[in-house]
Chains A and B, each alone.
Chain A
């Protein structure tokens, strides 16, 4: 597993990462979320040993990255921010270099390079010079570099940044496919991505962990979670609103829109433990209202994200 213990980083007198601790087990995909400048990349750089921490430690599969850097790095695959690659090299040349650095020689080296090329859909460009590739392909070349040696631990800094929606989808599929026998940490500021890919999300703001939860639980922290959105055919909106107010379990309602016959309203429950959708349906049914649509809100991640990362007064 990857164990991060009290990692702290000062740049000058500025504390950029503030006492971060967490662990990632095999099979987990940990999403690292936070606004720009939150300290995601800095944390990942300390975990991979690119910069030393001011204090604290990162232990990768039992090896401390500061004390046994070589054995720790052997187990890591790392995709740095903006996917740096050597522009003048050929795709195969670059991957062969990485394979050699990872200790592969001869036919094994060739096999590893071919596998990585195949997994990352690079077959068409394999004998091209990297500088002639589009951003998406460069990203994939760097991604191929990180998985070439089939590492147990993958650290990906914004792996889908700059890709088009199809490429994003492909990269996410690749990550999910690999997750079973690996522990993966990926940073992103795309909430949908975190939700579709990650099994767990850590949100950091101002260098501190402000939340460590599953994507589902995060949603439940939204004020919208459990609210019922309803569209009725109601010639008399005020009457309908008054009726809904009287339904047991309803805390408050918010009229979203009423045009012609359509009356759209959002109904907030007193507590999410008692679902109110059923009672609403039966009450309105008795009064012969025509229900056009009903929808139980899951909660909005962007709202939760904003609340958690809202600028907190800093020292």
Chain B
């Protein structure tokens, strides 16, 4: 009974947010930029064709770096806009819990990113045209990318609850995500491992979005990687709830 009520409330919030994306031209602009950037990096920066291989490694390679800017941009309005327009006062006095609202917002944005990601399917077609790619590995890579997008998004959702300013929320999200990214970026690891113990490096790299992303890109979905992304998401959602609740006490 109560569970169905929770699901119903989450669905209602989610529906409104999804509509919110598509009722403004911003969603379409975002999708176009998303596809253009991914296309540009894949074809022009890593020269997809010259690779001579029928796989999408060049394509997936860029996802963590593009997400660093694209996903905070998609997430920044989620709370900031509610604060700026004061609609947060309606939302938080409706008979729904803060948790339900956050989950609804998160799922809506994740679905939106999922839609953007699925619109890159011509890449798969191109690879199939060029040769005989391992479709299982590609599916695996997509799943990894989607999970990582969720982690980025949970950070952006949380930072948007800090402030009515979308710009500040965006910058904060980029900074936090950059830490999560660089912690697994080999040039950075090389520097750090020069003067810190090995076990510490191990912990830091394991906290990175990138480490777990790369591990999934190898073509196997390890339970630990899934667990990692979901832990990040759950943690950020809890942090978000705390921020919202304590903002009320301000």
Q: Which residues of A contact B (CB under 8 A)?
A: 11, 45, 48-52, 69-71, 73-74, 76, 78, 80, 82, 84-89, 93, 97-98, 100-103, 142, 145
Contacts and interface: CB of A to CB of B under 8 A. Distances in A.
B95 A86 contact: no
Interface string B1-23: 00001001100110110011001
Given A97-B12, A101-B9, A101-B12, A82 B86 contact: yes
A15 to B, nearest CB: 15
Contacts of A100: 8, 12, 15
Contact of A80 (B23, B24, B90, B95): B90
B23 A89 contact: yes
A76 B92 CA distance: 13
Contacts of A71: 95
Nearest to A93: B19
A101 B86 contact: no
Nearest to B94: A101
B90 A84 contact: yes
Interface residues of B, number: 25
A80 B89 contact: yes
B44 interface: no
A70 B95 contact: yes
Given A50-B89, A97-B16, 5 more contacts: A48-B93, A50-B92, A85-B85, A97-B12, A101-B94
Chain B CB count within 10 A is highest, among A51, A100, A101, for A101
Contacts of A50: 89, 92-93, 248
| B contact patch SS | helix
B249 A85 contact: no
A228 B71 CA distance: 73
B87 interface: yes
Contact of B24 (A84, A88, A145): A88
Contacts of B8: 100, 103
Contacts of A51: 248-249
A78 B87 CA distance: 12
B96 interface: yes
B97 interface: yes
Contacts of B15: 97, 100
A145 B20 CA distance: 18
Contacts of B5: 103
Given A50-B93, A51-B248, A101-B94, A84 B20 contact: no
